Amino acid sequence: MKLIIDGFEVEPRPDQSLLDIVTELGLIEGKLSTDPIAAKIAGEVFTLNYIPQRQKDVSLYRESMRKAMEASGGVVKLLRYSDPTGRDTYKRTAQFVIFLALYRLYPTATAKMNCTVGSGLYIKVSGADDFSAELLKEEIRKIVDEDIALIRRRISTDEAIRLYLSFGQDDKARLLAYRENPTLDIYECGGFIDYYYGEMAPSTGFLRVWDIVPAPEGFMFIFPNNFDPDRVATYREMPNFFSVYTEGKSWGELMECETVADLNELVDNGGIRELIRVNEALHEKRFSQVADMICERGAKAVMLAGPSSSGKTTSANRLATQLRVHGKRPILMSLDDYYIDRDKIAPGPDGKVDLEHINTIDTELFGEHIGALLRGEEVELPSFNFKLGKREWNGHRLALHANSVIIVEGLHALNPRLLPSGLDKNLVVRMYVSPLLPLNLDDHNRIPTSYLRLLRRIVRDFETRNSSVQKTLSMWDSVRRGEERWIFPFQENADVIFNSSTIYELAVIKKHIFPLLTAVGPEDECYDDVRGLVKILNFIHEADVDYEIPPTSLVREFIGGNTFYVK
């Protein structure tokens, strides 16, 4: 059996792991930037502890791996921290080490994954009066130095429930009660067991770059710099972002829906209908508060930004409705109309045109127009023809009235390069929209904001653009890179951060997306990404309650039926 690993042709010995092979090839240098963390075979991701060829297969799990190896033709792609899947593997490894260290130091304490703040992961600790972030840092260093092999084993779901209950992890046991699969994979170390719904590094020694910073009621775990993984990322406090996420958590408490198990109970007993009503009422109240602030300030323009599938379009329209209640005349504008002609955009070093770069926007023209409009002058607005890739002028002229408010929506709306110097800051409100989902799978596993956004985008692209799951996923890494460069650095500077998530929507969106995901086979390049989505959705009960969702809901932007799109 021959393998091709990063261009090296090798013939593995029986019972030799991928880690052994890459070590013999000299590919382990002790640097996070260059060392492989996991491997991709066909469409699946595997731990480096995977053994390609065994003397004797001992489980169905091994058989499924053999099929992946056969489908790949022996080609193994090594994943490093620079690869998004490699970063996810590193982060799961960090989670295991963090909670193992907490278990060793504070076995009776409760630690909960709370949220990601920039490059840091906030974990709240309760039941440990003598908690010390410095002591935790020392314990994590010990575990890393011990270089403990992270070996996964398969047990029955019933046994896993019993084990979690015996360790006081009732949240996990409660979640697993909704699991239909009869088996579960776990990692175990010194009496501590856990699982993070995906592959991890082969051992704790791979957790080379990190730091811990004290935080209220817990700590921040700081990850490596995405662009220079051998250095710890610079941690920047984000009090505005953190307060909005905390508010989302309080919404979950208010609606008695903090975990997936809570959501499932509401689906089963019909309580999800009231959950929808309360969540939508909270959104409406928040849009009303934003409109109040705009009017009190006397602002004439709103710059509204947010990452992909955050609900920017619906947010702009709902804010416009609330401004009308104040007697204002809102005007919707899109930054997309200020794109530079495609044939005038220079390609990057890789020969490709980065359509999410700020240089694809005619920032000078937009600055001139917004400045003129706010001075009371009339301007002719451009329109971008996406089919031709060119800007057009159709005689659309605009001048503001005394009660007009412009709402400008776009990827780069918070970028300071868009606004002319000397502009009265009180005339402009900067608004950031993102679905900061406060729902956890369990105490040790949160559902990332990017997960919800990706589900939304897959469903929307399929329904409105006839795009396949594969096509949407093929673009996602590029979308995320653009967000990290052009949106996230400015989010904390917003005057308003709006949480566009709804706690109920995973139960609603499941029926729209599950058939699309389960149609993707193991041979597909994006299979592992799809499997990661399905793993979480498998725990969620489907709710057939679309009739309860208002036609102006943010969720309607993705599942259909949004009346703002009716002309």
Q: Is the pLDDT of residue 60 over 80?
A: no
57 pLDDT tier (thresholds 50, 70, 90): low
- Give the pLDDT confidence score for residue 566 in this predicted structure: 66
Contacts of 142 (CB under 8 A, 6+ apart): none
Are 92 and 193 found together in one domain?
yes
Q: What is the tens place of the pLDDT at every residue in 260-318? A: 999 999 999 999 999 999 999 999 999 999 999 999 999 999 999 999 999 999 999 99
Q: Which three-class secondary structure string do you get for 448-460?
A: CHHHHHHHHHHHH
DSSP codes of every residue in 315-331: HHHHHHHHHHHTT-EEE
DSSP for 64-82, please give it.
Answer: HHHHHHHHHTTEEEEE-TT
Share of the chain above pLDDT 90, in %: 70
Is 483 in the same domain as 552? yes
- Higher-pLDDT residue of 566 and 35 is 35
Confidence of residue 249 (pLDDT cuts 50, 70, 90): confident
Measured CA to CA, the distance from residue 183 to residue 185 in angstroms comes to: 7
Residue carrying structure tokens 């969720």: 555
Name which of 24-33, 67-76, 205-214 the model is least confident about: 67-76
Question: Which whole number is the average pLDDT over 41-57?
Answer: 84
- Give residue 168's domain range: 85-232
Q: Is the residue at 149 inside a domain?
A: yes
Distance, in Å, from the CA atom of 76 to the CA atom of 54, rounded to the nearest integer, reads 17
Q: Does residue 491 sit in the same domain as residue 557? A: yes
Of 506-510, 511-515, 520-524, the one with minimum mean pLDDT is: 520-524
Closest CA to 172 of 195, 199, 200, 198: 195
* Cα distance between residue 506 and residue 456, in whole Å: 9
Per-residue pLDDT for 21 more than 50?
yes
**Residue 505's pLDDT is what?**
96
Average pLDDT value for residue range 35-64: 77
Q: How many helices (H) and strands (E) does the chain have?
A: 16, 23
Same domain, residue pair 106 and 125: yes
Q: Are residues 444 and 551 in the same domain?
A: yes
**Dihedral, CA of residue 214, residue 197, residue 528 and residue 311, to nearest 10:** -60
Q: What per-residue confidence (pLDDT) applies to 434?
A: 95
Residues 188 and 43 occupy one common structural domain: no
Least confident piece of the model among 17-31, 140-154, 474-488, 532-546: 474-488
Residues 181-238: tens digit of each pLDDT: 899 889 988 888 898 888 999 999 999 999 999 999 999 999 999 889 999 999 988 9
pLDDT (0 to 100) of residue 334: 94
Q: How many CB atoms lie within 10 A of CB 361?
A: 23
- 70 plus 89 within the same structural domain: no
**282 and 428 share a domain?**
yes
Q: In the chain, how many domains are there? A: 3
Whether 151 and 217 share a structural domain = yes
pLDDT of 349 > 60? The answer is: yes
Provide mean pLDDT across the span 18-43.
94
pLDDT of residue 506: 97
Same domain, 156 and 226: yes
- Residues 68 and 214: their CA atoms lie apart, in Å, by 43
In whole numbers, what is the pLDDT of the chain averaged over residues? 91
Is residue 341 a part of any domain in this protein? Answer: no
Residue 161, domain CATH:
3.30.980.10
Judge if 167 and 43 occupy the same domain. no
Domain assignment present for residue 247? The answer is: no
Last residue of a domain, one of 80, 104, 128: 80
| 369-387 mean pLDDT | 94
Domain boundary among 80, 113, 131: 80
Mean pLDDT confidence for 112-133: 91
- Whether residue 59 is predicted with pLDDT greater than 70 in this model: the reply is no
- Partnered with residue 184 across adjacent β-strands are 155
Of 34-43, 54-63, 346-355, the range with the highest mean pLDDT is 34-43
Which one, of 306, 310, 313, 309, lies nearest residue 462 by Cα? 309
Band (pLDDT 50/70/90 cuts) for residue 55 is low
Kindly report the backbone phi and psi dihedral angles of residue 270, in degrees, each rounded to the nearest multiple of 5, phi listed first.
85, 0
CA distances from 563 to 318, 434, 554, 555, 560 (A): 11, 21, 11, 12, 9
Specify the 3-state DSSP secondary structure of 300.
coil
> Residue 264: its pLDDT value, please?
96
Residue 97 has pLDDT above 80, yes or no: yes
